Amino acid sequence: MLKFTVKRLVSAVALMVFVATGTFFMAHKAIPDPVANLFGKVSFTAEQYEAKKAQLGLDQPILTQFWNWFRHLLTGDFGTTWVGAPTPIIKDLAVRLPVTLSIVILGLAVMAVLGAILGVLAGIRPGSWGDRMISASSVVFFAVPGFLVSIALLWVLAVKLGWFPVSGYIKPERDLLGWLRSITLPAVSLALGGVVMIAVQLRNAIVTANSSDYVRTLRARGLPPRAVALHLLRSAAPAAITIIALMFVSLLSGAVILESMFNMPGIGSATKDASQTGNIPMILALTVVSVLFVVIVNFLLDLVLGWINPKARIK
């Protein structure tokens, strides 16, 4: 298990280094002259241009620029923003990340809990009406994007019934209940597709396990149903966990769309602004941070998988 953990950790770190390096050079390749880009339509003189260039460190060779950036990155320093007042990017992220992450995490929690409950119920009673409902609706729920669900929910629960705010984000430290109310709609609509997906996967895994040889043998030993159910759950869990890991990435993407629909100041609008203004350090910071979250979640889920399933440790 220790060897497995170390191996996973090494590959996660390697992926982060690769992504960071790749994004840095790709961003600089895409914006060959960041200084001119920053001035945009504003006219500027050659002195202003050179001064700006020196100020941003763009007069140095690209490899030096990379090393400076990377060195700071390792200490958690994303540099300062190029647009507006030169504030540390980390400050901006500290405001924006909680917005996106609270939607994602609440969505993930709703998805995992609801999906697990429905999946177990359907899997233990295959053929029941609940099971058939889940299977039938799964086709459409897989495909229809969260924001369409969100539009429908918004229409009914926010516009017509007024139970939830139509838009805006409330900080939890200011009003905990208000915060929860503000993120509920986007989180729930984000989660719904995943709920069905997890439920169906879990259900199928339970049904497969239930008809497997070893479960029959456990029953033949006289093991009581509750003890057999534990075996079923443990064998079905990896399928559900794998889906959760895959869903995290798409939840992050979905959250970016939803926070924009609900007018929330998350990383989505920051990404859009940064890429339109050519704010390279901001672009890099946003990419690195969001990939970091995905990598961390995948790493943790891998560990859980390895812990549950002894065979997974070998690969």
What dihedral angle (degrees, nearest 10) is formed by the CA atoms of 112, 199, 138, 146?
0
For 167, the 3-state DSSP assignment is coil
What dihedral angle (degrees, nearest 10) is formed by the CA atoms of 198, 200, 204, 210?
80
> Should residue 310 be labelled a site residue for another protein when binding is judged by CB under 8 A?
yes
Choosing from 17, 94, 139, 300, the residue that interacts with another protein (CB under 8 A) is: 139
Residue 251 backbone dihedrals phi, psi, to 5 degrees:
-65, -40
Of 12 and 172, which CB lies nearer to another protein in the complex structure? 12
Count the site residues for another protein by CB under 8 A: 78
Choosing from 155, 168, 175, 176, the residue that interacts with another protein (CB under 8 A) is: 155
Of 174 and 311, which CB lies nearer to another protein in the complex structure? 311
Pick out residues in 212-251 that bind another protein (CB under 8 A).
212-224, 227, 231, 234-235, 246, 249
Of 218 and 304, which CB lies nearer to another protein in the complex structure? 218
CB of 189 to another protein, least distance (A): 12
CB of 304 to another protein, least distance (A): 13
CB of 101 to another protein, least distance (A): 12
DSSP assignment of 86-141 equals --BHHHHHHHHHHHHHHHHHHHHHHHHHHHHHHHHHHHHSTTSHHHHHHHHHHHHH
The single-letter DSSP state of residue 311 is G
Pick out residues in 45-84 that bind another protein (CB under 8 A).
none
Choosing from 154, 196, 198, 244, the residue that interacts with another protein (CB under 8 A) is: 154
Which token pair is 22?
A: 């790749």
> Should residue 41 be labelled a site residue for another protein when binding is judged by CB under 8 A?
no
Pick out residues in 268-287 that bind another protein (CB under 8 A).
268, 271-272, 274-278, 283, 286-287
Pick out residues in 3-32 that bind another protein (CB under 8 A).
15, 18-19, 27, 30-31
> Should residue 252 be labelled a site residue for another protein when binding is judged by CB under 8 A?
yes
* Contact predicate 69/23, CB 8 Å: no
Strand partners, 88: 80
Amino acid identity of 202?
L
Contact range with another protein by CB under 8 A, out of 38-46, 50-58, 144-152, 174-182: 144-152
Strand partners, 80: 88
- Going residue by residue from 91 to 130, which x/- string records binding to another protein, judged by CB under 8 A? ----------------------------------xxxx--
Pick out residues in 174-213 that bind another protein (CB under 8 A).
204, 207-208, 210-213
Which residues have a Cβ under 8 Å from the Cβ of 310 and sit 6 or more positions away? none
> Should residue 144 be labelled a site residue for another protein when binding is judged by CB under 8 A?
yes
What dihedral angle (degrees, nearest 10) is formed by the CA atoms of 109, 107, 88, 276?
160
Choosing from 133, 142, 168, 176, the residue that interacts with another protein (CB under 8 A) is: 142
Of 91 and 216, which CB lies nearer to another protein in the complex structure? 216
- Using CB atoms within 10 Å of the CB of residue 165, give its burial: 0 to 12 exposed, 13 to 18 middle, 19+ buried: middle
**Calpha distance 21→70 (Å, rounded):** 8
> Should residue 89 be labelled a site residue for another protein when binding is judged by CB under 8 A?
no
